[in-house]
Structure 1
């Protein structure tokens, strides 16, 4: 992520940071740069006789088949396969096969590693989101960052291998890509490599004979870190490719398929009699797998890994929509996502303090843990994010029995979020001067078109759960894990009366229904 440089808006002093997901250096592969007989394949004008693009959920491989008739009458078949490995976390594999069916012809294959964040992307497209505050601004689209995001570090080429590496300007994160190529053909060919700061280009010129294919397999290792120098990441990338090439490309395809088989065995939802609904359901499950399988301590962005919409931010989607599925199919992924929230607690405590509240307030949208919402009414005012996180935590512990996580880290989430509700709400007294009802005013519920309301039903019901959950966990720890309870009391400065206060507020919560 790249912290976009200070305050993006004031809105009552609520926005403290502009946390934007940088796109990083990406490989756009060989499919966009093939020409035959000096005639480039351009889908805008090409005479395409056959075209098929498919994603095989069983193997985890995206395939494309194109049959193209060039203006000079060359009949060309292009088959392309690619996958980002679930099993080998740093690896992407792309395999391109070109066959000229009806005559001899020169074929050029252009493979690239390219920094699409800062470099010129001739294959990219789309319209970036308009700057904040301008007409047409769409918060679902990625924000355009005017300054350079990725600072070049080490880049080189060695034979068919090439490397690019960067340091993110604001966050200091480092990124390194190392690419290599394996050429398989009985045709004569030459290869040339060009590496600059924002692009590594491998050009293969093949004297293709009729019916004799040429296959180029591109292997890319992708390493990132919050503290390791780029040079070390490049070395790690080199070692990754050395290991992968020793194992063989076929083994990578087999491992990908085996991973997918295991995923579907525990995660599939079978719908009989409606093929379209079955396909749509499996597509959604696949998106969950892509977004969560290799999050590795990070969150699940609102758009998953399908694009850079919402600037890569995490919202409540993770806890309310994603984790309930993962909890029952792959609980480790759910635990990792909850631990990401635990690691955000220092920033969440700071945020609550800025709003003169106790405990912790998780950010409505974030990457680093800082609030990145530019609009208070539809951002920070959605205090229900606290209860959403606690709700997912409670569901996870009930389903898995993972008391170790609950007592070591989860309890901190439960206590600090409950503390916020206890100070955010207020008591209304009856005519006798006794506390009658607990209210929460000035909040925004899930309906972002009706903002800053009093006693939002969803918020109050979820806050009630949060308060009761925290009180129950604390009492359970005192009985079942006294040693961990003592450590928690010291760590959080818990007053023995707090759980009773939370229960009173929960029992008296005003529910406008």
Structure 2
């Protein structure tokens, strides 16, 4: 593939181009919101923003688990039947990234440290984030600090962090405090409540709660393992986070662990000697549930840590690299003659892997697991943009994502009934399957999400020929989504026998609740035709599966003919003079935009 030169978005003097790595050679606090995101790690379940090991400074601290959320009552200015009632927001889980370093009792804080060298590297082939720096302490001692961070693609519940310190010039007392901190409800690492989740501003960030979110359930110090467990106040979801250290040094040292409700920490006090490296390997595990007690999740965390310790960090790194070899064999897109574009392409592909690899029949949020923007909600982006990629490169993951939608079908049926519609209506934005959009016009009115689900099913089955999925999940979803479209629309009474859909919002969320939105009508037509065709093919291919579909949905040939009739009669706006399909039936009657006066 050849491409024109892509514009440089990152300054190359600081982010030199490398086709297989994202490299940063200078540290600054000016764009932490960007760097925390672009260097973030995840596996589809665990997500860790690229906050510094030492904590402050941060735009947005973040450690997230896909689907782990709190609920809250939506307060409408004026309530109405059919409006979403309960919001859902992804929650920060306890932060295990925090490893604070003191030399001669002076803390390493990157914002004001005297750094003789600095490099941070995200390697797309190993899946490891590495930071290497040379710090000149206030006493003039040079200290080499190297850290590595990995969220495992192979093991859904595991992350691995390493931290190495080497004195280069002179001996010194060294303290390393490795922590597990509840930022969601508590303070930051310096006991400042206002900075607990970072100090940056982003209008897309999740809401701030007016109540304690994580209720402490368990604090455990069991041999080498430290575990904290919590339960969300409203959603009643539970989570456990645990760590275990593997510590190596030729220096003399002591270890002390303290475990409290909001903070657990293990402090290594070392008599640091020149040239003798101090190395900490921190194995971290997270488990969550919709209702399993936190004590059970704590046990699961400890089992995860035991298996990881048995494999060893080198073994875990090798597994990660092997997983990525397979990923790139399936997914790589090579661009000739444009290294910046090649780097950007592979960075994006790598983040697709981080958003989807271990979702395990959960959705893929708008921000993946890199941030809490858009409340951690799942939208139509998953089906329209991500599933087609996965269908051709990682079909087993695509199948799991589609099964997640299918498991929400009963909730979608309920939502349709609430709006006096037949069939099923999937939520515009959700985590748990309930509609969470507080603004109807740019939320529920975007009925086209139903067609997005149908589109994803088609792309998946076209790529895989997986008629087992179609028989057991796909066809049922198609029938219920098509049923909603036929019920939502109506035949015009002006003699043209055309089928219309009114009162919907298309992908343009700034032009809401319109009649005959072109995109919506085209996609609804596709949805109904595809559903009818699949049902008939299923009847021929797999008669028993078709009979099961009839029993579960009540579909019959007459209804399929109704789908076809509505699809054939679908009104698609078209302007003969301009030769275009306008956005909706009234779009061209709007006042023209004056581009000459637009800044």
TM-score (norm 2): 0.81
Q: Residues 157 and 304 of structure 2 are in contact (CA less than 8 Å); yes or no, is this contact kept in structure 1? A: yes
Instruction: Measure, in 1, the Cα distance between the counterparts of 2:98 and 2:187.
Output: 15
Tell me how large the CA RMSD over aligned residues is: 1.4
Moved more, 219-228 or 482-491: 219-228
> 1:234 offset after TM fit, Å?
1.1
- SS class of match (2:369): coil
Asked if 1:125 is matched to 2:198, the reply is yes
Asked if 1:69 is matched to 2:136, the reply is yes
> 1:260 offset after TM fit, Å?
1.0
Q: Residues 95 and 216 of structure 1 are in contact (CA less than 8 Å); yes or no, is this contact kept in structure 2? A: yes
Match of 1:19 in 2: 88
> 1:27 offset after TM fit, Å?
1.1
Asked if 1:330 is matched to 2:394, the reply is yes
> 1:155 offset after TM fit, Å?
0.7
> 1:28 offset after TM fit, Å?
2.1
Instruction: Measure, in 2, the Cα distance between the counterparts of 1:329 and 1:37.
Output: 52
Q: Residues 455 and 511 of structure 1 are in contact (CA less than 8 Å); yes or no, is this contact kept in structure 2? A: yes
Asked if 1:305 is matched to 2:369, the reply is yes
Match of 1:504 in 2: 565
CA deviations on 1:462-496 (whole Å, 9 max, x unpaired) are 00000101111111112211111111111112243
Aligned counterpart in structure 1 of residue 501 of structure 2, from 424, 429, 440: 440
Asked if 1:197 is matched to 2:261, the reply is yes
Asked if 1:244 is matched to 2:308, the reply is yes
Match of 2:493 in 1: 429
> 1:393 offset after TM fit, Å?
0.6
Match of 1:133 in 2: none
Instruction: Measure, in 2, the Cα distance between the counterparts of 1:161 and 1:349.
Output: 45
Residues 460-479 of structure 1 correspond to what in structure 2 (within 5 A)? 460-479=521-540
Asked if 1:85 is matched to 2:158, the reply is no
Match of 1:132 in 2: none
Instruction: Measure, in 2, the Cα distance between the counterparts of 1:346 and 1:170.
Output: 22
CA deviations on 1:236-289 (whole Å, 9 max, x unpaired) are 211221222122221111111111111111111111111111111111111110
> 1:141 offset after TM fit, Å?
1.3
Matched residue count: 499
TM-score (norm 1): 0.95
Instruction: Measure, in 2, the Cα distance between the counterparts of 1:368 and 1:477.
Output: 30
Q: Residues 11 and 375 of structure 1 are in contact (CA less than 8 Å); yes or no, is this contact kept in structure 2? A: no
Q: Residues 117 and 135 of structure 2 are in contact (CA less than 8 Å); yes or no, is this contact kept in structure 1? A: yes
Residues 245-260 of structure 1 correspond to what in structure 2 (within 5 A)? 245-260=309-324
Instruction: Measure, in 2, the Cα distance between the counterparts of 1:287 and 1:305.
Output: 10
Give the gaps of 5 or more residues in structure 2: 1-67, 190-195, 574-580, 582-599
- SS class of match (2:346): helix
Instruction: Measure, in 1, the Cα distance between the counterparts of 2:162 and 2:535.
Output: 55
Distance 1:280 1:180, change over 3 A: same
* Deviation >4 Å, runs of 4+: none
Distance 1:455 1:499, change over 3 A: same
Asked if 1:149 is matched to 2:217, the reply is no
Aligned counterpart in structure 1 of residue 124 of structure 2, from 43, 57, 76: 57
Instruction: Measure, in 2, the Cα distance between the counterparts of 1:187 and 1:489.
Output: 72
Q: Residues 175 and 233 of structure 1 are in contact (CA less than 8 Å); yes or no, is this contact kept in structure 2? A: yes
